[in-house]
Amino acid sequence: MTTNKSFGFMDEYAKKEIRRSSLKAVAIPGYQVPYSSREMPMGRGFGTGGLQLTLSLIGEGETLKVIDQGADDSVNAVNLRSFIEMTCPGIHTTTSTTEAGVIQSRHRIPERPLREDQLIVLQVPYPDALVVVEASEDKRKILHGEADYSRLLVKLYEDIVKFDEITISHRYPTRIHGHYVIDPSPIPRWDVPKMHQSAALILLGAGREKKIYAVPPYTDAEPLAFEDVPFRVEDFTDENGQRRPCARCGCTTSFLDEYIDSSTGDYVYRCSDADWCNEQLMDESLLEVSNG
C-alpha cells in the first residue's frame, strides 16, 4: 500500500497553488482569495486552512511554533504540531515566540510584538465579516468590491441603541488598508490592535470556506467604530478599578484566562499566552538573581 512521502503532506501542485494565492492575498490586502483547499487528515474547522498555509510555506531548517488559545500544549496545538513535524522532516519546533520563524495560531496573537522576519498564520472559521449581515457569498462579493460596509455599521449602531455598547466580542470587523473589511479570525478584541502596522506578515487561512487573505507588514488595520464610540478591548479591571494581575507571573498587561478554583470557588486569572507568562517568570527570577 502506498504511503505518503511528499514534504508537507500535500502534492506539489496543491502547495504551489497555495503559495500563489498567498502572494495574491499580500498584493491585495484584506481581499479573500478563493483557493481549492485540500482535505487534510484532520477535521474541517480544526485549522485546516492555517495548516495548508504552514505546510506550503515552511521549509527545512525553519522553526515553527503552534498555539491554540495562546497555549502551546493544548490538544489541538499538540495535534497540529506533531502532524507538521511528521510531514515536514528537517524543521524545528519551539514554544518560544522569539525563536519562531513561523507561528500558527488559533484565537490569539502572541503578546510579544512580532518582528519583520516572522510570519504568523491564523486559523479562520468564518473568513467574511459580512456574513452576519448577508448570508449569500455572491452578494457579499459585490459589497466588498464596492467597499459597502454600511450594513455592518448599522449593526454596530443598533447594538449601541439596544445595549449602549457594541456587543461584538471577538472576530471584530477590521478594515485593512482603507478598503476591505476582514474577519480577523476569532481573536479577542485585545489582539486586533496588534494587526495594525504589524512588522510581521499576517496570513489568514480558511480551509472549509476555501479562502486565503492577508494583512501585509506595515499595513493599516482599523477596527470599525464611530468617532464618539471608540473601539474598546476586553476589560480586566476588578471591582475596585484595579487591573487584575496574572495569578502566576503577576503581569498586568496581558490577556487573561479566567477560571474557577475548584477548592476555593474563587475566580483565578492567568495569562492566556503561555510563553509570555513563562518569560515574565524568567525575567523575575533573573532580576532576583542580579539583585541578590
Partner 1 sequence: MAYVAIKGGGQAIDGSKTVFDYLRAKQSAESSPLDLDTIQNQLRLLHGRVISEGGVYHPRLAALAVKQAHGDTLEAAFALRAYRSTMPRLAETEALDTSRMRITRRISSAFKDIPGGQMLGATTDYHLRLMRMELLNESPEQFRTIASEWFDGLNIDDIPDTFPKVLEGLRKEGLIPPLSSQVRDNAPFDITREPLVFPVPRSAALSTMARGEQGSLLAIAYSNMRGYGDVHPTVAELRVGYVPVMLPHPITGKPMEIGEVEMTECEIVAMYEDQEDGSKPVFSLGYGACFGHNEVKAISMAILDRSLQIGMTKGPSNPSEDPEFVLLHVDGIDSMGFCTHYKMPHYVTFQSDMDRLRTTRKKQDDGVQS
Active site residue 30: yes
Catalytic residue among 88, 207, 251, 277: 277
178: left (phi over 0), alpha (psi -120 to 50) or beta: left
Tell me the window of 29-37, 149-157, 174-182, 219-227 that interacts with partner 1 (CB under 8 A): 29-37
* Cβ-contact 15, 55 below 8 angstroms: yes
Task: Based on the shown chain and the rule CB under 8 A, indicate whether residue 158 belongs to the binding site for partner 1.
Answer: no
Greatest pairwise CA separation for the chain in angstroms: 66
Task: Based on the shown chain and the rule CB under 8 A, indicate whether residue 112 belongs to the binding site for partner 1.
Answer: no
User: Which grid cell sits at 266?
Assistant: 474563587
Size of site (CB under 8 A) for partner 1:
69
Catalytic residue among 8, 88, 251, 271: 271
Active site residue 251: no
| Cα separation values, 90 from 19, 50, 62, 120, 283, Å | 20, 20, 8, 20, 31
From candidates 240, 262, 264, 290, binder to partner 1 by CB under 8 A:
262
Query: By 3-state DSSP, what share of the chain in percent is helix, strand and coil, each rounded to 5?
Result: 30, 20, 50
Catalytic residue among 30, 49, 205, 207: 30
Positive or negative, the CA dihedral 73, 76, 80, 83 is: positive
Q: Which amino acid is at 254?
A: S
Nearer to partner 1, 170 or 177 (CB): 170
- Binders of partner 1 among residues 34 to 63 (CB under 8 A) are 34-41, 43-46, 48
Residues in contact with partner 1 by CB under 8 A are: 1, 4, 6, 9-14, 17, 34-41, 43-46, 48, 68-71, 73-79, 82, 107-108, 125, 136-138, 163-165, 167-171, 186-190, 208, 210-211, 234-235, 255-262, 268, 272
